[in-house]
Amino acid sequence: MKRKKIITGLVTAALIMTTMLPAAASASTAGAWAIQMGVDSLGTEDMVCYGNDGRMWRVLSVNGSGGYYMRQYGGQVNSSGAMLMMSLGGLYKTRFNFNNDSDYENSYLRENLTKVTALANQEFFSAAEKEAMLKTFKSEKPNSDINGFKAMNPKVWGDKLFILSAEEMQTYLKNDKIKMMMTEGEIGGWWLRSAFDEYSNWMVDDHGKPARYPASFTTQIVGKNPIWVRPAFNLDKEAVVFISGKNEKSRAGMDEGLTPVSANAGIYGWELTLKDDINSGRGGFRISDKVVRTEEGVSVRYWDAKTGNNEYISAMIRDEYDGVRYYGRVKNLSSGIKSDVVEIKFSDIPMESGYKLYVFNEQYNGNGKTHYTSQIFEVKIPDKVSAPDVDAGVMYGEDIPPEGTSGSAAAAEGASADLSPAGQPDNIKSGGAADTGDNMNPAAWAGALVLAAGAGGVLLYGRRKRRS
């Protein structure tokens, strides 16, 4: 009997793992490349890494869960701007309540989920991840039918994290295989927020079947034994700058400069890069619009980058379809220097028409963790290589550009500078050519006049001396 149970358990575990494998060649698989801008290429066959532990979340809907949504600091988001995701595994085990009340709104379970997303709680999610979770406001139809039994569906009102109702389970989880859950090697049941009656609630059992818990009226406390909380949330799509296949940004060479991005061949798990430039110290990052062309690429002056562990100046080259073709971390900022010059090399990259170069201040975390970035700036590439012996300070002009000039928010994303097949710009609206007589400063002019006068005097004196 014991051997039979072991075999049954192994078969069940294998069945669950099969449901978690990526759907290769699925139409919903994101984009052609392993790094993509935004999240619009994701579909309901995709998995996303999210949270401090890099856990996997299944995309249930690319148009939210119904109702309406609000950002943390205000601003309503419609359904097209929300993406519903549910954790593949359980977050923790808990009772539903400590009294004989099956009401979700006032439950112990909901109270603890609210604490998970509190600003001061950093155990499960970073501050930026919590900010990217939308507050969901939703009232469902009061009752659903599950195998002839009634399920009473409570509303969700302003929650960032919540558990599915019986109605949502039937809508988004179409078969028992994807209802089954494995956490830490254990197959386990998980809570639904819908009530069965006054004293008991609905759950999903070990076999992926909806069930009543507790199973009889003899247990007066709802959920006497803790079971898993399997949370869901609506992601703010606008918070995501770009996505990358799990560990794609960790490949060899990507911490040494621009490296080709892999093709998307059925990626299992996408990492998110969130915009985090308000409270993180990346809000002041900017680059100069005076870019120096070198034999190997370009040199770009930047200011006010966030420094420290895992902080970098990163770059990417995108094609005309916004596909990221090359990516790399071009400068490590662990030294603490906030403002400097970075060289971005691309001489060995066969630049195609429509390719553009971008630079940003990024926190790279790897291993399924979420990454964070400043605003992304396009680098406008000059068509001529600058003289190698020209001092960088002269080439870049002022150390810090005056407020209100293009240098204070240089070449913001959306400006155009198309590159020809040879890697040269077809039309440059601003460039980094060396100083000429038209823009030389007054001190330089004065120095030139003094030198010219001195040279003329020496020549005149020599000529008179020879005549005498």
SS (H, E, C) 147-187: CCEEEECCCEEEECCECCCHHHHHHHCCCHHHHCCEECCEE
Claim to verify: residue 147 and residue 105 sit in the same structural domain: yes
By the 8 A CB rule, do 225 and 249 touch? no
Question: Which residue has tokens 């001195």?
Answer: 454
Claim to verify: residue 272 and residue 155 sit in the same structural domain: no
Structure tokens at 128: 């930026």
Kindly report the CATH number assigned to the domain that includes residue 310: 2.60.40
Claim to verify: residue 280 and residue 232 sit in the same structural domain: no
Where on the phi/psi map is residue 25: left (φ > 0), alpha (ψ -120 to 50), or beta? left
CA 230 to chain centre: 23
Is 59 part of any domain? yes
By the 8 A CB rule, do 377 and 360 touch? yes
**For the chain, how many residues are written?**
468
- CA dihedral over 120, 124, 126, 132, signed as positive or negative: negative
* Vertex 420: Cα angle to 429 and 413 (nearest 5): 45
Output the CA–CA distances (angstroms, integers) from residue 9 to 14, 20, 88, 187, 449, in the order listed: 9, 17, 19, 9, 90
Domain boundary among 357, 392, 409: 409
By the 8 A CB rule, do 282 and 305 touch? yes
Claim to verify: residue 255 and residue 211 sit in the same structural domain: no
Claim to verify: residue 209 and residue 252 sit in the same structural domain: no
For 82, list phi and psi in degrees, rounded to 5: -120, 145
Question: Which residue has tokens 């919590």?
Answer: 130
H-helix or E-strand spanning residue 447: helix 442-467
Claim to verify: residue 349 and residue 215 sit in the same structural domain: no
Structure tokens at 134: 């939308």
Q: Alpha-carbon distance 23 to 9, whole Å?
A: 24
Is 457 part of any domain? no
Claim to verify: residue 257 and residue 228 sit in the same structural domain: no
**Residues forming a β-bridge with 467:** none
Residues 6+ apart with CB under 8 A from 183: 89, 90, 228
Is 426 part of any domain? no
Is 427 part of any domain? no
What's residue 277's pLDDT? 79
The closest of 321, 315, 326, 320 to 261, measured between CA atoms, is 326
The answer, yes or no, to whether the previous bond of 442 is cis (omega within 30 of 0) is no
Is 195 part of any domain? yes
CA 399 to chain centre: 31
Domain boundary among 237, 258, 288: 237
Which segments in the chain show pLDDT lower than 50? 1-29, 218, 220, 389-394, 398, 400-412, 414-468
What's residue 140's pLDDT? 83
Claim to verify: residue 290 and residue 227 sit in the same structural domain: no
What's residue 294's pLDDT? 95
The closest of 422, 318, 319 to 360, measured between CA atoms, is 318
What's residue 432's pLDDT? 36
Is 93 part of any domain? yes
Claim to verify: residue 179 and residue 266 sit in the same structural domain: no
Give me Rg for the CA atoms of the chain: 30
Claim to verify: residue 121 and residue 252 sit in the same structural domain: no
Q: Alpha-carbon distance 261 to 244, whole Å?
A: 10
What's residue 468's pLDDT? 42
For 194, list phi and psi in degrees, rounded to 5: -80, 140
Is 166 part of any domain? yes
Give the chain's domain count.
Answer: 2
Domain boundary among 360, 376, 409: 409
Claim to verify: residue 227 and residue 319 sit in the same structural domain: no
Is 437 part of any domain? no
Task: Give the residue numbers spanning the domain of 367.
Answer: 248-409
What's residue 17's pLDDT? 45
Tell me the pLDDT tens digit for each residue of 365-415: 988 999 999 999 999 999 889 865 444 444 555 454 433 333 434 344 543
Claim to verify: residue 139 and residue 269 sit in the same structural domain: no
Which long-range CB contacts under 8 A does 101-107 form with residues at least 24 apart? Answer: 101/198, 101/222, 102/195, 102/196, 102/197, 102/198, 102/199, 102/200, 102/201, 102/222, 103/154, 103/195, 104/154, 104/193, 104/194, 104/195, 104/201, 105/154, 105/155, 105/157
